[in-house]
Chains A and B, each alone.
Chain A
Amino acid sequence: MLELNVQTIAFLIFAICSLGGALGVVTSRNLIHGALFLIVSLFGGAGFFVLLSAPFIAVVQVLVYIGAIAILIIFAVMLTRSMTGMRELFNRQWWLSAIVGVLLFLLLTIAVIMPVWGVNGSKSNQPVSDQVATTQDLGMALVDGNQYVLPFEVASLLLTGAMIGAIVIARDTED
């Protein structure tokens, strides 16, 4: 049975933020409103990370998604006149996105209710590890040769490549 404590109340608030925001994104006719709803939704996501005692990821969520990506989206919408005036809720690809959305939802629901993947397999109601990892652990894991140093380096190479690509595209052609 659901026990009503501070954590549950916080969870409900974040869930409302997250789901309500997501609903707002797809139902608002105004693109800027949609982008702002997206921020509400992402904020709810950051709240979940706090509840899961992963403050580092929560703050990164705020910093990267709200502070950078959402602002970039709003910037792009505001600077594109044809997008600012857009009022249609659907375009021709709505059925394709509906299929993908439903499939993803089913996949996630199945994965949560009867986990078939992962370390736990069927024993999903037990936590993966009883040891709470700190930010230090995360940092060490990212540079440890036995753990995630390769994905970390690959990701940083990818980001550097993307950055150089962005500069090349944005650059004036004259020089």
Chain B
Amino acid sequence: MQNACVDVLETLAPCLTTGGLDPGIAQFISILIGVALVALFPLVLVILLIWLERKIAARVQDRLGPNRVGPFGLFQNLADAVKLIIKEDITPAGADRLIFNLAPIIAVVSTTLIWAAIPFSPIHIGADLGIGLLYIVGVSSIGTLSVMMAGWASNNKYALLGSFRVVAQLVSYEIPLVLALLVPVLMTGSMGMQDIVRAQQGMWFIIPGLVSAVIFYISNLAETGRAPFDMIEAESELVAGYNIEYSGMKFGLFMANEFMHAFTANLLFSVIFLGGWAGPLSTQIPFLGFIWLMVKTFIVYIPSLILRATIPRVRIDQMMAFNWKFLVPVAIVNVIVVAFLLQIVKAIGWMPDPGNTDFLAHVPEAIILLAGNVALIAGVVTMLRNSGRRERLAEAAPAANDEHAIVAVH
């Protein structure tokens, strides 16, 4: 096994054993390094993400953004991080000390744990669980808990009000999110993350699963508390939201978690709907798969930043109505339609083998599913137009009467 050390990135454990190390310890060291890398990568990436977000928001608002510290202001966030760390760490007198301190940690942990099940390349994944997708949903639902703990432990009414709103939002938007995730699972026939990516080597799921991709993207914006759903930090309404009493690095953890979570959500989108590491040569050179994944993620992440800088915040009741009266029903119908069409495709015999990487083999299946999606969109749009027209007519009728009444008084 002399050539085991040629590509250390792929075969660290066999490489260590050539030096005469016990295989068990070698395995342990390689897993430990992997865990450290996977856990530290998002934490370091967040510094870059905040810089990117500030730059893009500045451009949208016709400003320059950070440009003083380092080239292009790249080190601005390092300076900010140092500032956050050396700031006084205040715990309010009436706070529940343990829960107050635990909340930011749980928030960051719940996001970092998601990274454990994300396939970065054909061979690099923290843990290729058979239930990877469900694991991701389950772990991210713990994040809701941290918001609740923070809001309650702060002993501040604004924090508590903020956390109520946030929890209502997070719990509600989890439903369309999970329903949208059912579609890729149906198409793959597995919940394993690697299986999902491998099934997309021929055709990315965004084409046969267009509606669920859109639903997933929207509910992800809400789950991560990004505009237009950033109720989480509606400054003008809630002073600051659930994290109002936090200062110093504990606040920094919440903020970093927000950016990390937003990026993770887009990473998931590119893994589940844009083929993850699948791309030219990615099976031969695994590291290239990682690059493809990052490129795809930034392609969906940057529009979400521009969205955040341009769209105003929606009202909380509008947001809940949009979720329960629009997204959830559409998501349910979508799952039924896709499941039905998939059975038809299977019955005709056009269903390609899951491991088939040939693009053309997936075309008939994709066309049928896409047609189903387009029909669903057309139906939804027609229904929306009709109900909108009825509403306008109903509004116009009394309004006309009122005008007559005013004229009559004059």
Contacts and interface: CB of A to CB of B under 8 A. Distances in A.
Interface of A: 32-33, 36, 39, 55-56, 59-60, 62-63, 66-68, 70-71, 74-75, 78-79, 134-136
Given A36-B99, A71-B148, A66 B141 contact: yes
A-B pairs, 3 with minimum CB distance = A67-B141, A63-B138, A62-B138
Given A59-B138, A62-B138, A78-B148, 18 more contacts: A32-B99, A36-B99, A55-B131, A59-B137, A63-B137, A63-B138, A63-B141, A66-B142, A67-B138, A67-B142, A67-B145, A68-B141, A71-B145, A74-B148, A78-B152, A78-B164, A79-B164, A134-B130
Contact of B135 (A39, A59, A79): A59
B145 A66 contact: yes
Interface residue range, chain B: 20 to 34
B179 interface: no
B167 interface: yes
Contacts of A66: 141-142, 145
Given A32-B152, A59-B135, A67-B138, A39 B130 contact: no
B116 to A, nearest CB: 13
Nearest to A74: B148
Nearest to A61: B138
Interface of B: 96, 99, 129-131, 134-135, 137-139, 141-142, 144-145, 148-149, 152, 160, 164, 167, 171, 174, 190-191
A175 B236 CA distance: 34
Nearest to A78: B152
B contact face: mostly helix, strand, loop, or mixed: helix
A79 B152 CA distance: 11
Contacts of B99: 32-33, 36
Nearest to B168: A75
Nearest to A63: B138
B125 to A, nearest CB: 15
A133 B171 CA distance: 31
A120 to B, nearest CB: 27
A63 B134 contact: yes
Contacts of A55: 129-131, 135
A60 B134 contact: yes
Nearest to B136: A59
28 contacts: A32-B99, A32-B152, A33-B99, A36-B149, A55-B135, A56-B131, A56-B134, A59-B135, A59-B137, A60-B138, A62-B139, A63-B138, A67-B141, A67-B145, A67-B174, A70-B145, A71-B144, A71-B145, A71-B148, A71-B167, A74-B148, A78-B152, A78-B160, A78-B164, A79-B164, A135-B131, A135-B191, A136-B190
Contacts of A60: 134, 138
Contact of B134 (A33, A59, A74): A59
A39 B152 contact: no
